[in-house]
Structure 1
Amino acid sequence: MSTDTRSAAPGTAPEPRPGGPRAARPRRRAAARSGSARRTPLSYAVTAGIALFVLAFLAPFVIIVLNSFKTTADYRKNGPLSWPEAWNWDIIGDVWKQVGFTEKLTNSVTISLGVVVIAIALALFNAYAIGIGRVRWRTPLLVFFLGVNVLPQEGLVYPVYYLFKELGLYDGKLGYTILVGVIYSAFGTYLLTSVFSGFPRELIEAASLDGAGRWTILWRIVLPMSWPTLSVMCVFFFVWSWNEFLFPVVLLISNENQTVPLGLSVMQGQYTSNPTALSAAALLGVLPMVIFFFVFQRTLTRGMTAGAVK
């Protein structure tokens, strides 16, 4: 048996081995070139289709941005698809003051955050009892929560309206926040129950043998392992609550309690319309959600792909 006794001379770098990182780089490049060479017409067609879909998705937003900085004369002269002759920055400030956007924005943020807290808390406790606790009548309870999800809002408006009148919650942000949070918790309960049903029973049994109670198991084991799903639910609930229009238009009639969608709706009258002001109002309503998605896009992506790879 022969051994390799070669060693690097003092002060010199050792020779790279054939299987080292430097040798792997040409292989990666060759694999990348071979992968690009294997592209078929179908892959190019799919790429073109995705590009067209992205352009079609962004086109309305681009039109809104262009028209938000036009004057009324420029809009009437050149139409909605033209580039602004001069950027009118004052229209954003005028619409902001006309709508009272600061107050509306504050109302939307506080209500949406309250809805997220209420919906997540109720869904977590309900799903923990149904999915892990295995309470009685588990299947009827799931059918009930599923029925709440598929029930249209139009069927709940009038009962909720008269109920709020009787309870003194009408035209109040607190009552509206509780209502929407409870409704959203039905979807969260149904989703989390399906997740908790596949939860490893060995962990719960081991924690029980170590003396952990139900609350300890929930806060120390179940909750940390459910953060991906809960983060996705938080994002969805916040966006849904932000975009709510039917319930706020019925239950929040005072100007100081209205949300952003209701505030922007006053820009459109029955006989009068200002397209540039409407575009500026739409831009003000869309920008918070765009910023929100840019901030939480990684959270949303990680939460949706957490269960894809084990």
Structure 2
Amino acid sequence: MSTTIERPRTDAAPAAPRKLKRQKPRKTVTDWVILVVAILIGIGIAFPFLLILINSFKSPADYNSGGPLQLPTSFYTDGIVNFWNRVNFPEKLWNSIFISGMVALLSVVLSVLNAYALGIGRVKARTWIIVLFLLANMLPQEALLYPLYFMFKQVGLYDNPWAVIIIFTVIQSAFGTYLLSSVYGTFPKEVLEAASLDGAGRWRILWRVVVPISRPTLSVLLIFFFIWTWNEFLIPLTFLVSNDNQTVPVAISALQGDRLMDVTTTSASALLGLIPTLVFFLIFQRTLTRGITAGAVK
């Protein structure tokens, strides 16, 4: 009998390499401490908003019996309705949107023009001019009230929304100029030289090259200028004395009397004043995030 010996096959496909699983780094004690501190800070920030939300839909009887921390026993909306009708809230809302929107747009445009001259144009005494813009932004508003009051009285713009728009445009653009001058000071010279070789003038370089590249930073400034102007109180209170021109923060302050204050109606007014800025922030949240992280990753 003949026997056959089978040889092992050498043409078998090689075994596929095993995929190495990436081990997640273990969290250290420091990481857990930072996480706990961040959660506590978040709770502390959210607590006032939660308190306003609870008391906005609480009746005065519930507030007097249970205090500010107890949940309402019934859904009470009279506080919102009373504030809406008492101050003509749609009118105040439009005043705030108009003033804040105009200030945001004009401040960004003025900041771009100033920063283009200081950061890229390299004017003489550039450093001292930027320091003056910074000092102007640090002046307290109380020190500006009387000179501004006298000036706008003379030109006939007192009790006019444009007085507040002009004031805050100058104030906000001082900060915008200081910030954008630092950004434009590090602008790539190769891009500007290439644009000038193609025949572009200064204005065309500004609007076709500099502005599109710095659009994320300008978007962040636009959002911040809008929110900062919306929350301003002292200057609108001083320069907008008639009821038709007042903004939302000034209208909210009208609910506080010398001897009596309706807490539930005041909470409802604070909620109505907070909702527009919250909606504005949520709409432009992605734009804000992109603008802040634009220079972090090349």
Quickly name the TM-score band, shorter chain normalised.
Answer: over 0.9
- The question of 1:213 aligning with 2:201 is answered yes
Cα distance in 1, alignment partners of residues 135 and 44 from structure 2: 35
Q: Aligned letter for 2:23?
A: A
Confirm or deny: 8 A CA contact 1:118 1:182 kept in the other structure: no
Residue 212 to residue 100, structure 1, CA distance change in 2 (3 Å): same
Confirm or deny: 8 A CA contact 2:107 2:176 kept in the other structure: yes
Q: Aligned letter for 1:211?
A: G
SS of 2:23's partner is helix
SS of 1:96's partner is helix
Confirm or deny: 8 A CA contact 2:163 2:239 kept in the other structure: no
Which residue is equivalent to 2:159? 171
Confirm or deny: 8 A CA contact 1:132 1:196 kept in the other structure: yes
Which residue is equivalent to 1:153? 141
- The question of 1:81 aligning with 2:73 is answered no
Cα distance in 2, alignment partners of residues 262 and 46 from structure 1: 39
Which residue is equivalent to 2:27? 39
Which residue is equivalent to 2:179? 191
Residue 41 to residue 165, structure 1, CA distance change in 2 (3 Å): same
Cα distance in 1, alignment partners of residues 52 and 103 from structure 2: 29
Which residue is equivalent to 2:108? 120
SS of 1:267's partner is coil
Residue 78 to residue 145, structure 1, CA distance change in 2 (3 Å): same
Pick aligned residue for 1:271 from 245, 259, 269: 259
Counterparts of residues 290-309 of structure 1 (less than 5 Å): 290-309=278-297
Pick aligned residue for 1:130 from 118, 126, 129: 118
Could you tell me the percent identity over the aligned residues?
Answer: 50
Q: Aligned letter for 1:129?
A: A
State the Cα distance separating 1:136 from its structure 2 match.
2.0
Cα distance in 2, alignment partners of residues 112 and 197 from structure 1: 29
TM-score, structure 2 normalization: 0.92
Moved more, 104-113 or 138-147: 138-147
Question: How many residues of Structure 1 are paired with residues of Structure 2 in the alignment?
Answer: 289
Cα distance in 1, alignment partners of residues 258 and 245 from structure 2: 23
Gaps of at least 5 residues in structure 1 are 8-16
State the Cα distance separating 1:175 from its structure 2 match.
2.2
Gaps of at least 5 residues in structure 2 are 1-9
What's the Cα RMSD here? 1.9
TM-score, structure 1 normalization: 0.89
- The question of 1:232 aligning with 2:220 is answered yes
**Cα deviation digits, residues 153-203 of structure 1 (max 9, x gap):** 111111000000001010001222122112211110110000000000111
Residue 212 to residue 5, structure 1, CA distance change in 2 (3 Å): farther
- The question of 1:250 aligning with 2:242 is answered no
Which residue is equivalent to 2:87? 99
